[in-house]
Amino acid sequence: MQKILDEARAKALAEIAAAADDRALYDLKVKYLGKKGEITEQMKRMRDLSPDARRNFGQLVNEAKEAVEQALEARARGLAENKYARLAESDWLDASLPGIVPPRGHVHPVYAVQRELEEIFTSMGFEILDGPEVETEYNNFEALNIPADHPARDMQDTFWTEDGNLLRTHTSPVQIRGMALRRPPLRLIAPGRVFRYEATDASHENTFWQMEGLMVDRNISVAHLIYFMKSLLREIFKRDMTIRLRPGYFPFVEPGFELDMQCQVCGGAGCSVCKQHGWVELLPCGLVHPNVLSMSQIDPEVYSGFAFGLGLSRLVMMRYGIDDIRHFLSGDLRFVRQFA
Ligand code: FA5
Same domain, 162 and 299: yes
Alpha helices in the chain (DSSP H): 2-18, 22-33, 38-44, 51-90, 109-122, 137-140, 173-181, 222-237, 290-295, 312-320, 333-337
User: pLDDT at position 53, please?
Assistant: 83
Is any ligand 1 atom within 6 A of the Cβ of residue 254? no
* CA of 121 relative to ligand 1 center, distance in Å: 19
User: pLDDT at position 321, please?
Assistant: 96
Flag whether 102 is in a domain.
no
Tens digits of per-residue pLDDT, 262-281?
999 999 999 999 999 999 99
Mutate to test the pocket of ligand 1, among 135, 159, 170 (most ligand atoms within 8 A of CB): 170
Same domain, 209 and 293: yes
**Count of CA atoms in the C-beta half-sphere (13 A) of 98:** 3
Is any ligand 1 atom within 6 A of the Cβ of residue 308? yes
Instruction: Give Cα 281 distance to the centre of its chain.
Output: 32
| pLDDT at residue 1 greater than cutoff 80 | no
What CATH code is carried by the domain that includes residue 277? 3.30.930.10
Same domain, 176 and 300: yes
Instruction: Give Cα 255 distance to the centre of its chain.
Output: 43
Same domain, 77 and 190: no
Give the three-class secondary structure for 182.
Answer: coil
Whether omega before 132 lies within 30 degrees of 0, making that bond cis, reads no
The number of domains in the chain is 2
Flag whether 233 is in a domain.
yes
Mutate to test the pocket of ligand 1, among 153, 176, 245, 250 (most ligand atoms within 8 A of CB): 250
Flag whether 53 is in a domain.
yes
Question: Rounded to an integer, what distance in angstroms lies between the CA atom of residue 211 and that of residue 174?
Answer: 10
Same domain, 241 and 332: yes
Task: Give the domain range for residue 30.
Answer: 2-90
* CA of 158 relative to ligand 1 center, distance in Å: 14
Same domain, 22 and 70: yes
* CA of 311 relative to ligand 1 center, distance in Å: 5
Query: Are the C-beta atoms of 168 and 140 separated by less than 8 Å?
Result: yes
* Final residue before a domain boundary, out of 47, 63, 90: 90
Flag whether 19 is in a domain.
yes
Angle at 63 between CA 61 and CA 67, to 5 degrees: 115
Same domain, 204 and 314: yes
Q: pLDDT > 70: what percent of the chain?
A: 100
Tens digits of per-residue pLDDT, 127-153?
999 999 999 999 999 999 998 888 777
Flag whether 282 is in a domain.
yes
Predicted TM-score of the model (pTM): 0.75
Question: Rounded to an integer, what distance in angstroms lies between the CA atom of residue 179 and that of residue 293?
Answer: 8
Same domain, 39 and 177: no
Flag whether 103 is in a domain.
no
Same domain, 114 and 75: no
Residue 55 pLDDT level (bands cut at 50, 70, 90): confident
Tens digits of per-residue pLDDT, 205-237?
999 999 999 999 999 999 999 999 999 999 999
Tens digits of per-residue pLDDT, 308-322?
999 999 999 999 999
Same domain, 9 and 154: no
Looking at residue 2, its amino acid is Q
Q: Which residue has the higher pLDDT, 259 or 156?
A: 259
Same domain, 268 and 334: yes
